Chains A and B, each alone.
Chain A
């Protein structure tokens, strides 16, 4: 596709459930990033992939959060045992190299935990 694609666009789930968020980066981009954006806040870094490896997982807020990337393309962010404080927009971005800041982000997945 032409841009970064994320699915689902919206997700509502009950507290305690697991959720999986998907990101399809721009074709050929080796670097992929996940950010979290809480209402009225800036972007909070979660994790970054260089190819299929994740050299920096320091932003993951707890061990309930995990992410993987396969085939140097699609990435999934999984949140286990969701809590209400996980409610946010989860944004994915990609760039050609990891020496570039993200040029474009996907439109995000708006996650609401009831």
Chain B
């Protein structure tokens, strides 16, 4: 079975700090790596995504770092804010579509004021 392993399960960061969430995958056929943000009682929303031909992608305070040889990728949230408190899911896809989209188990992030 395809797997995406996500860590840590939960994370507490002080306001203004850097939040780092890590994911590792096994299947080298994965070629698209999105991250989703989910607030309590809401559905996930696509946050940022990367393809393996680049090592880093930045959108505002959110950055994905990608290490193809290690089959690992991570989400960095700079200057973390209490409004960033949510559950974050990494995922991996083949062909960029949702068919075959495999999710990690999620990281519950709390930003303390």
On whether the two chains bind one another, the answer is: yes
Q: How many residues of A contact B (CB 8 A)?
A: 26
Residues of B within 8 A of A (CB): 6, 32, 34, 41-46, 49, 89, 91, 93, 95-106
A–B complex contacts, Cβ < 8 Å, 7 sampled: A40-B105, A100-B98, A101-B34, A101-B93, A101-B98, A104-B46, A105-B44
Q: Is the CB of A104 within 8 A of B43?
A: yes
Q: Is the CB of B96 within 8 A of A99?
A: yes
Q: Is the CB of B105 within 8 A of A102?
A: no
Contact of B99 among A43, A55, A93, A108 (CB under 8 A): A55
Interface of B is mostly: loop
Q: Given A42-B106, A43-B89, does the pair A104, B101 have CB atoms closer than 8 Å?
A: no
A45 at the interface (CB under 8 A from B): yes
CB distance from B106 to the nearest CB of A (A): 6
Q: Is the CB of B46 within 8 A of A103?
A: yes
A98 at the interface (CB under 8 A from B): yes
* Complex alpha-carbon distance, A106 and B56, angstroms: 29
Task: Collect the chain B residues with CB atoms within 8 Å of residue A31's CB.
Answer: 97-98
* Complex alpha-carbon distance, A103 and B100, angstroms: 15
Task: Collect the chain B residues with CB atoms within 8 Å of residue A40's CB.
Answer: 105-106
